A and B are shown apart, each in its own frame.
Chain A
């Protein structure tokens, strides 16, 4: 199945809107699954798009752009992977073979954009000091509208040339490569999860991870069910801690005890 000019440009526009939203309005958050599904919709196969997006959503768990750091762009990867999977009809692994590397390369473009933004900010400040406030106000949003190109450009190139590249790769692709990609797809969510744990107060509350693990691994409870139980535990904790706060001495004693247990 090929791709029309209209479809290719819609997907590029989608990538542009995504990145505009990610850096400015943030109405849609980090949802590779949403963008995968929309890409599928544009190409007339929502289900494949949804499933590809879901796979990348799981890989991206816990990976966050914190403090302006540059991270692999899983949404760019989802858009490209969904487009390639649908157009070649060769499954999720074929899509990811192009989508993942491009998503990782996108973070290098991010560095370049941030350097250009420095120049824009400096220029804006110069205008402010010359009391040319109108020019200053026009200068700053340039960064906003230039930023999304970092996603739109790679998506456009991958969508236009990706299919031919993938098909020629697929023809020569050894089995270990496709199987390996699928294996990697199953294992990669672990990176984000591990990253997430680094940010969490594991020393104090780490033992809760066992409860969640046992509920799902042994008892096969879905994540939503575990999240609901987690909510109950959180409410309980919040209540307990607020009661503790009213009694300062009790809290202090408790903290000291906790600290000793941590060591």
Chain B
């Protein structure tokens, strides 16, 4: 225990940050991405722990279940490195508590913003432009995403420097930020429903020589009424009936084909 602990310099952190790009590729059902975490932190941990026995103890601690949104995970790993550098294996329990405590909330924020909100907004723009053969939206998506990608290693430095204080300090404004971006997201989703979901009815009624097109009537009632209804039904199924997404996709394909066969739907 009296063994002195090694100190990390900026180069070690950058090395860890670059190794972090191995990300979730090691995901498994038992321990999540723990082995990936061990791999990225190993050089830094080797430097901190001079004694092999201590190193093994620390590694075994990091081999426990870990799963966090890879974009925000550096905040946690940076902080744990700072803790282990200071207190060595005596900090292991605190390190584990920090990891377990933070990986949930950070994943919640990260997954919503990084994997759902941003790809949906940018993807809707890129997709609706791309369907007409216009690649502008694609370039916008690509440019903004690459810009975000290269900021990830800095989170390591931030996490390391501010240690455990960071998250509690950010706490309040993080919530406001998530709320604000939710509003942006929901507004855009409202727009996406009418621009990307297409349901066209093919049925026509002939009454005393007058042709009545059902789709025209629906359009007069409210444009994009059917897409909105489809989204609403699917939302209720997912939310209240806990329907599986795969089944909904298969269901829609079957309904579309049946509808096409009887002429209810047209492309």
Contacts and interface: CB of A to CB of B under 8 A. Distances in A.
A61 B227 contact: no
Interface string B101-143: 0000001000110011011110111111111110101100110
B59 A179 contact: no
B192 A191 contact: no
Interface in A119-138: 120-122, 124-125, 128-129, 131, 133, 136-137
The main secondary structure of chain B at its interface with chain A is helix
Contacts of A191: 234, 245, 248-249, 252
Interface in B224-247: 224, 227-228, 230-231, 234-235, 237-239, 245-246
Interface in B170-197: 172-173, 175-177, 179-197
Contacts of B230: 187, 190
Interface string A55-66: 101101111111
B34 A68 contact: no
Nearest to B199: A187
Nearest to A20: B25
Contacts of A68: 24, 27, 32-33, 67
Given A55-B131, A218-B223, A229 B125 contact: no
Interface in B60-116: 60, 63, 67, 70-71, 107, 111-112, 115-116
A233 B26 contact: no
Contacts of B67: 67-68
Nearest to B264: A183
B214 interface: no
Interface in A178-199: 179-184, 186-199
A177 B115 contact: no
A250 to B, nearest CB: 14
A184 B25 contact: no
A153 interface: no
A237 interface: yes
A143 B115 contact: no
A30 B63 contact: no
Contacts of A213: 190-191, 193-194, 224, 228
Contacts of B234: 190-191, 193-195
Contact of B35 (A34, A121, A129): A121
Interface stretch (B4-12, B156-164, B205-213, B254-262): B254-262
Contacts of A211: 187, 190
Contact of A50 (B130, B181, B187, B256): B130
Contacts of A47: 133
A148 B21 CA distance: 15
A115 B189 contact: no
Given A51-B133, A131-B52, A209-B186, A120 B35 contact: yes
5 closest A-B pairs by CB: A212-B190, A54-B130, A180-B257, A186-B198, A194-B234
27 contacts: A24-B22, A28-B145, A29-B141, A34-B138, A37-B135, A55-B131, A72-B249, A104-B246, A117-B26, A120-B26, A121-B26, A128-B38, A140-B36, A143-B35, A183-B256, A183-B266, A184-B253, A186-B197, A188-B249, A189-B192, A193-B197, A206-B186, A212-B188, A216-B195, A230-B184, A234-B183, A237-B183
Interface of B: 21-36, 38-39, 42, 46, 52, 55-56, 59-60, 63, 67, 70-71, 107, 111-112, 115-116, 118-121, 123-133, 135, 137-138, 141-142, 145-146, 149, 172-173, 175-177, 179-200, 222-224, 227-228, 230-231, 234-235, 237-239, 245-246, 248-249, 252-253, 255-261, 265-267
Given A33-B123, A120-B26, 19 more contacts: A24-B23, A25-B21, A28-B145, A60-B123, A114-B29, A133-B46, A136-B38, A179-B265, A183-B260, A187-B198, A193-B192, A193-B196, A199-B116, A204-B179, A217-B194, A217-B228, A230-B183, A238-B179, A241-B179
